[in-house]
Structure 1
């Protein structure tokens, strides 16, 4: 039966190829030209690989199309040309990679004045990147002969496609000996130093941002490829220069006389990447080079001053009112940097710890923790700082999130451990951590008893309190923790009663065994019949407790909203860990189901009839199930300003 539909019709492309005067444009107008090219249609490839056709294709992707054409059609042929040149067909790769006139035409795109057309730049980047992968030796040899190649690429670094060209040269060159040779060439051209020079207050923000992102990618790629370069017993020259020579220059640019917020933030991004001991989703861990810490230590006072006097920001309107002095992206990045510094394990860590204690930076971060009640991004970083101080693992590389939950081993007497012990003493004796926890908790209880909202930091404060309790009992630094005498009794009562009760409630139970405590929101309309109120299967109160406890347990982690795909599922993996105990009365549930679910009736209206759907009537039924996803969206809308909405406030909106 398939044959009568004539699914294998002869292509109109073949008819065109039979014409003696067929043009490249005619072929490009055919819908199946790309498919036939990938299928390696011999006649089509012979036509495309003619010198004139190849020159025309390269010019299409490197020359601005004529003006006056409708924008949707203006780049039609450049786009098709790029797809044909990069469809990974051997004869096209050979023709383009072996013919120097074609490479010269392609290279001429870099010699155009700035700014480049972003779309054409992406076509150029994709084409040259494909050649670097498929015709590596020929293309690398060609580019090395061009004295101004790297200067031209950096000149156009404000166009993001140029970043891809540099990263292709670092990550897509094989075999390892040729890759090392390419890295040595790029290092001789001072690629790392020139990228650092672009992170400067006098450069435009786009150029700074792209240079910073390129450096971060180079660091990560170089570390990931370290094993392959070990085969030839020579370290990555770019990574070596970045770790040992460029940090001081970067810091000088960040804190120059006319420093800008953009320069500081982009510089911190590079420092954070250098301080990474483990990337999310990767098993391999890295050791932080001591020279990085030694370069940062003299500038800690500048970072401390940024916490005290950040760049001026305008008041921000939030759902809780006007925030006169937003925390700002700069202070959030400084907090992230301090957390990363505290997690490093290096012989130079002691000087960093001593300087942080001298500056009293942790005390200032705790002040900000309680001042910015609803900024969960800041709360997470301060929690990580406390966890790093209380749970040092100098001989065990762990991620920051792991350090919040893993049981550490007993450390040996090393300079790193001495530095950690110094920070522990500082945290309890000078920062008064225990007193702050007790006072903040009592203040929150008082506010809630008066009908106010629960403080947004309470979930993180609970985890900090649990970390302190754990280390007081059996942590590796428990001998350094000394509670003030006048607070010892209050703390023990708090741990035995208040904190214990909070932890019990955080073990989520959809259906409680006893009557729920009164709540100010228990009068919300129930989806179940009134006569089932006392025995309802999923009461409004219990949904409230489930979502509120969910926030208490997990909070919000700004690392889960990064561009790494592997991190996206982390939040939902943690949801799967919740222990849900459902012990509903079967008869009650069936009664509720019968009340809500009606069987189809032949006399009722046609269910397939097209009609307008009113989504407003459906919102109430699903507002709880969409709580977490909606919360993610709400937080995402504020991430640029680093001001997170109150978790409690979000809860009130969706429950």
Structure 2
């Protein structure tokens, strides 16, 4: 009501606008200037859209403030100016997008020498990004006339705001034909190739990192938009170039040319991992046509380009870039694992999941190099590095499930709804494998499993590590940090031994183990592993449905009696429903006809005497009665009267709780 009848007091801003000699700075000092601008105050917009004012606003966001100004006020006006220019008011967008002198002043910011002021760069990026979205054709025509535009942006790519400018051009241009035209222009300017050139040991780390992140974002955005814009038959030119064998080979040559630095290798692997993504999680509620996460096909040219360089990645596991000793809570780590070896492990896991029978050459080369044996060495050496443990676990799971992305389907899903290769490993055990047909076991798709058991001695390693951990704990030592992942690896072996796609070969490989290890493995599976799995599950009372939990079960936030009460309530309802149906004899066919059947059904209800037989399930009944006797205490005549008035004592009693 207050705003409806316009009863608010007149703003001091209006008084300033009444002055003939009011300046832009005076208006920007007012706290409500931005609010009035967004509310489209007519007098204020007329003042701001004057040529002199607009020129001054653009100059503020592109020019370094005087050094002598107080630090708190140096960027006050540039910040307000940026907010005014990007508040999405039509007249301001039209003025800034249609006036070429203003665009020239804005563009001049890119022509400054490096490094750019990061705050001013963010103001520039936000302003030009808003214009690309709101005044698309005008701004694109202006930028395309500037021959050195892309060179200037890449020159300043060490400033992260420049990444946003490129991504705006790729993702915010509408309609689709204009977007395709823009992508074609960027491809003609060789944007992808020039970004790849920046991932080189001779470049500074910030430039390499931003170039890598830009390439990853381009790949993901292009794939997402290709799925959403089905009406465009032409492929995305930038994505086509990035997925080509030539581009991947150039990236790999840069990574392994000259001195091998961690920054160059890690940033290059991040691009490769993005190219190898076959599943993308749902983001912002956007799903594929089937209502599940989006899936993509990996171009075979990517794998063909990577295969010759697998030996270089293997060598990095042996001789990574030197790192200084690291002080940890458990002591000094003389040789840290390092980001390089962790990313190589991620790449190997991704390659094993991605490569199928048609690209078996990658898996065969990894077997020849014996890379998996080296990763298992690192698994047990770096006891507390769970990031590495997860990647090795994923490698084992991929090897034991050849053609995994074709075989591992969730129940009830179609062939297009494939298993998520990068999902949380803790959830991996709960998936049910339902192959549509029994896979053929060939030497090509079982070679990795043979190497894993015969050359890597997976079973022997599991048994020895488990026994060593038990010995350490029995002597009062700490439990090894990899035991949770080792448990899941052992469960993966057992699961695939029973019904996996290569269960026949795995069974024969375990049979060929030395007699001592074969007997220890059988005992381990039947007793130790079974007991560990039992401890890692919680059996809800009366339901019989165990659910997995962490090994250290956390205390329930609800009182025990409430949990039992809910369980028994569910049990009672279930029993009543069963008896009700047994006595009524209803079936679905009686409800298909709307008139006669319904009337007859209610006539039968009036004739039924409900008799609940609580003794149908003797086991559950006994448990219920025992719990009831435990919870219900008999009345005692000598007990004090609870209604008797007595002095209230507020002394508190604290009950300790073990963490």
State the TM-score, normalized to the length of structure 1. Answer: 0.75
Preserved CA contact (<8 Å) 1:176 1:228: no
Using the TM superposition, give the Cα deviation of residue 604 of structure 1 relative to its aligned residue in structure 2, in angstroms: 29
Report the secondary structure of 2:53's partner residue: helix
Using the TM superposition, give the Cα deviation of residue 524 of structure 1 relative to its aligned residue in structure 2, in angstroms: 17
Inter-CA distance 277–535: structure 2 relative to 1 (3 Å threshold): closer
Using the TM superposition, give the Cα deviation of residue 268 of structure 1 relative to its aligned residue in structure 2, in angstroms: 0.5
Higher RCO, 1 vs 2 (CA within 8 Å, ≥6 residues apart): 1
Match of 2:255 in 1: 254
Using the TM superposition, give the Cα deviation of residue 486 of structure 1 relative to its aligned residue in structure 2, in angstroms: 4.0
CA distance in 2, matches of 1:64, 1:427: 61
Aligned length: 610
Moved more, 181-190 or 510-519: 510-519
Moved more, 431-440 or 548-557: 548-557
1:233-632 matched pairs, under 5 angstroms = 233-243=233-243, 244-280=245-281, 283-346=293-356, 348-393=358-403, 410-411=438-439, 417=445, 426-481=451-506, 483-508=513-538
2:94 matched to 1:67? no
Inter-CA distance 175–139: structure 2 relative to 1 (3 Å threshold): same
Which stretches in structure 2 are left out of the alignment for 5+ residues?
A: 282-290, 404-420, 507-512, 615-619, 654-659
CA distance in 2, matches of 1:552, 1:375: 57
Q: Deviations for 1:311-337, whole angstroms, at most 9, x for unmatched residues?
A: 111111111111111111100000000
Using the TM superposition, give the Cα deviation of residue 598 of structure 1 relative to its aligned residue in structure 2, in angstroms: 23
Moved more, 113-122 or 429-438: 429-438
Inter-CA distance 489–604: structure 2 relative to 1 (3 Å threshold): closer
Preserved CA contact (<8 Å) 1:301 1:359: yes
Inter-CA distance 485–259: structure 2 relative to 1 (3 Å threshold): same
CA distance in 1, matches of 2:539, 2:445: 41
Using the TM superposition, give the Cα deviation of residue 132 of structure 1 relative to its aligned residue in structure 2, in angstroms: 0.4
Aligned Cα root-mean-square deviation (Å): 12.3
Q: Deviations for 1:58-88, whole angstroms, at most 9, x for unmatched residues?
A: 0000000111112121100000000000000
Report the secondary structure of 2:332's partner residue: strand
Inter-CA distance 602–413: structure 2 relative to 1 (3 Å threshold): closer
Using the TM superposition, give the Cα deviation of residue 156 of structure 1 relative to its aligned residue in structure 2, in angstroms: 0.1
Inter-CA distance 249–507: structure 2 relative to 1 (3 Å threshold): same
Inter-CA distance 21–306: structure 2 relative to 1 (3 Å threshold): same
Q: Deviations for 1:452-493, whole angstroms, at most 9, x for unmatched residues?
A: 111110000000000100000001111221x55442221111
Spell out structure 1 runs of 4+ moving beyond 6 A. 1-7, 394-400, 402-405, 413-416, 509-618
Match of 1:12 in 2: 12
Inter-CA distance 211–383: structure 2 relative to 1 (3 Å threshold): same
Inter-CA distance 365–616: structure 2 relative to 1 (3 Å threshold): farther
CA distance in 2, matches of 1:576, 1:252: 84
Inter-CA distance 583–445: structure 2 relative to 1 (3 Å threshold): farther
Report the secondary structure of 1:87's partner residue: coil
Q: Deviations for 1:403-433, whole angstroms, at most 9, x for unmatched residues?
A: 9775557445789746xxxxxxx11111111
Preserved CA contact (<8 Å) 2:355 2:363: no
Inter-CA distance 605–96: structure 2 relative to 1 (3 Å threshold): farther
CA distance in 1, matches of 2:604, 2:320: 35
Using the TM superposition, give the Cα deviation of residue 547 of structure 1 relative to its aligned residue in structure 2, in angstroms: 38
Inter-CA distance 223–612: structure 2 relative to 1 (3 Å threshold): farther
CA distance in 1, matches of 2:359, 2:98: 52
CA distance in 1, matches of 2:424, 2:384: 31
